[in-house]
Structure 1
């Protein structure tokens, strides 16, 4: 019997499994009921709460479509989603502030552990919230990296926290649609259409290589200081599992590029007065107003003009190569590269000289072997 001349063909007969929360109740935890979080636990000595999860491009492949400077970054809108979900857990329906302190890079292999920590309520009911991560194979004494810190409050009375970002009712944390800006007249009367052909190709050239999931901006208009846009996420089932899918909100922020206020890609830095009015939207309308400098305000509605999320203020800033390198190192995703090392070659007289060889394509391999033979 002769072996085939081609490489063996491997076929898998088992479905590729994705990580899930499992039976967390057996470990004394509550299920978080969120795509990015697996469990939640209320602290025994206070009314603080910790929500935990594991994030990777294997279990959450859509995150691989968010590439900045050659690095897969967890989107800044994802930190907002996590904080809003944490607020829902403790009955807070407003994210009064959230500052992103350091980016979260996702490694090529493996994932990162994530904790969303909600502190004890103060006299007014406000709570501090923080988002932390570390590489999943870290030792027990490895410090956690603080990525975002903010403040959760309750803007409405009678908030129960039982229906919110992860709830199935399609409403905010109080179980009712809260007040927000409507965008019922659409396209906006008097607004001038903006040509966005080649929009994402220009983003790629500038260093922000967004994949299909994050290429949600489909149309845009300008009316004075206001920019309007339509954003769509094809996977409606995925959108339904989030308060507001991070890719939808991220694409809404791409409208910032049309203001002309920034020379290159910018990322969310400081959020203020964020309110989620309804959940699970996949097709949205956006109004973005520049407040001068690095700041904008944002109103997002569903396709009928009903409020989805409002952002009182958002400051955006560029990210440096040094910040990206630090993020890769912290997540355990440092890049390994092949490097050429010079070799000292001694002749018969005992002298030595250094030679460096470059091999192109493969046609030069024999030549190198002959010369170094």
Structure 2
């Protein structure tokens, strides 16, 4: 009797893991299932304890039996860390039960760790009422800890890279798991009913209940977008902005021109004193709204510690961008600032 290999996809909830399930459900010879460890003992006794049967005695697992019956070469399990921190669902150990512990388990399932921008993860979780930020922190800490235990057998998949470079990223995952890549995997011809479910609860989640927003991204077919007006919009934007900020004026001069153009459109006159007030208010409001992206300072410090030099290349007036870097606290970390304004080039 041929026994399929088991592969694990490990992720934090709301990271796009269902999208990966949908893709690999299209792969010939692959059976796809969900949460064999986390939900394996759901409803069996009190308290939460992971079920490691799929790692210790796979033939006893319903999904594994179904994969055998279907003649599948691989059984791919989406192991999503839970959203209930009090039950320990986001910190449980996935690779702890085999002999030689995590090293052997990593070699057995060749885990792929799916990582998405934590801010986007939290935003997605808020949409379904999950607002505990500590749970996300615990999930990510656990992901990084588990990956560190089996680096040679693990693969990191970045969600943002997946949706942008879909073919390349999926092909790399296929190579890691030992699957023949086929472009048709991105077509989504099969529905959620093609998944192999280990429990009736999991089947209902995917086929009947569909919790709020759970499958919106997948059902929208994000990997094959079509934007019929994109070329027109791109051309129009380029023609409007191709010469922006290249005349060498200061930011205050550009802003004054825009204010006067708006006021003239409505046939309103303005004194020099009022114009000075408008410009001052604009500058103050803009400065207050500036905010560094999370991790930007750490990134700059890391690059400089590696001996790298940092240049910023951007559109806009030179004086405004210099003030922006000062306000953000990064001016002393940047060796060179290049703007369209300073070079006179778009």
- Report the TM-score range of the alignment, normalised by the length of the smaller protein: under 0.3
Q: Which one has the bigger strand percentage?
A: 1
TM normalised by structure 1 equals: 0.22
TM normalised by structure 2 equals: 0.23
Greater CA radius of gyration, 1 or 2? 2
